[in-house]
Amino acid sequence: MIPLKSEKDLVMLRESGRILAKVLRQLCEYVRPGISTAQIDNLAEQLISETKGKAAFKGYKGFPASVCTSVNEEIVHGIPGPRVLLEGDILSLDLGINYQGYFSDAAVTVPVGRVDFRSSKLIEVTRKSLSEGIRRAKADNHLSDISHAIQGYVEARGFSVVRQFVGHGIGVSLHEEPEIPNFGAPHKGVVLKNGMVLAIEPMVNAGGWESKISDNSWTALTKDGLRSAHFEHTVAIIPGGPEILTA
């Protein structure tokens, strides 16, 4: 069963998403060569403490930080720490906010200083693949229309989509039904309805789609060591089409 949100729920989720977007934007502006990923997490803690929201990831299944910081070949679930960002790195920031029991989730990949052409292309294609997916998030489409649009956009540009991790429903918990793969045939799965809220999140690899889990048992890495990018928005399906709650 995929829970449908009421108008009152959507009011709360919009506020959750608004808080998230503001914090994430400030984190992106802070990213530069020479800072550590722990410093980014510290700033996230401070910024979130100035809002009415809470960090949704901290403590989730034991995750130790407020924001996921995934560098270069790290796909998702990077743990902030002493690693210092270098000019030319790419950094994925993934943040979840719990506002009075209403959850939002978003991610963005940013260049650290100047990056090579292929890295900036990877970032751009991943960002646009999210837009392609979101466009399909409307009532009467099938869930896999989102998946198929993302995969098609990415693979036509010579990159690959991660299989091991998927998007998800969201709302009164961080992860709800359904799972939203970033690959698959169109016109399959559940029919989308107004009131569904989805966290759509393409993870795109510069090389092959295969991934593995690092020794810290959290962080997903590309198997071939090439770079990966990640963009995510929390999207409500409402009459008239998708509404991005974390824009």
Binding site for Mg ion (CB under 5 A): 105, 199, 201
Q: How far is the CB of 229 from Mg ion (least distance, A)?
A: 15
| Residue indicated by tokens 């506002």 | 99
Task: Closer to Mg ion by CB, 105 or 132: give it.
Answer: 105
Q: How far is the CB of 105 from Mg ion (least distance, A)?
A: 4
Task: Closer to Mg ion by CB, 73 or 201: give it.
Answer: 201
Tell me how far apart the alpha carbons of residues 26 and 35 are, in angstroms, rounded to a whole number. Answer: 15
Within 13 Å of residue 122, how many CA atoms lie on the same side as its CB? 29
C-alpha distances (whole Å) from 229 to each of 48, 83, 247 are 24, 18, 18
Residues 180 and 198: beta-carbon distance below 8 Å: yes
Q: How far is the CB of 232 from Mg ion (least distance, A)?
A: 5
Task: Closer to Mg ion by CB, 167 or 189: give it.
Answer: 167
Q: How far is the CB of 168 from Mg ion (least distance, A)?
A: 6
| Identity at 185, one-letter amino acid code | A
What does the DSSP 8-state code read for residue 178?
E
The torsion region of residue 153 among left (phi > 0), alpha (psi -120 to 50) and beta comes to alpha
Tell me how far apart the alpha carbons of residues 70 and 90 are, in angstroms, rounded to a whole number. Answer: 8
N- to C-terminal Cα separation, the chain: 27
Task: Closer to Mg ion by CB, 197 or 199: give it.
Answer: 199
Task: Closer to Mg ion by CB, 115 or 146: give it.
Answer: 146
Residue 191 phi/psi, 5° resolution? -85, 130
Tell me how far apart the alpha carbons of residues 174 and 189 are, in angstroms, rounded to a whole number. Answer: 21
Q: How far is the CB of 165 from Mg ion (least distance, A)?
A: 9
Here the tokens at position 175 are 């992860």
Here the tokens at position 215 are 């020794």
Q: How far is the CB of 59 from Mg ion (least distance, A)?
A: 16
Task: Closer to Mg ion by CB, 115 or 171: give it.
Answer: 171
Task: Closer to Mg ion by CB, 13 or 115: give it.
Answer: 13
Q: How far is the CB of 60 from Mg ion (least distance, A)?
A: 11
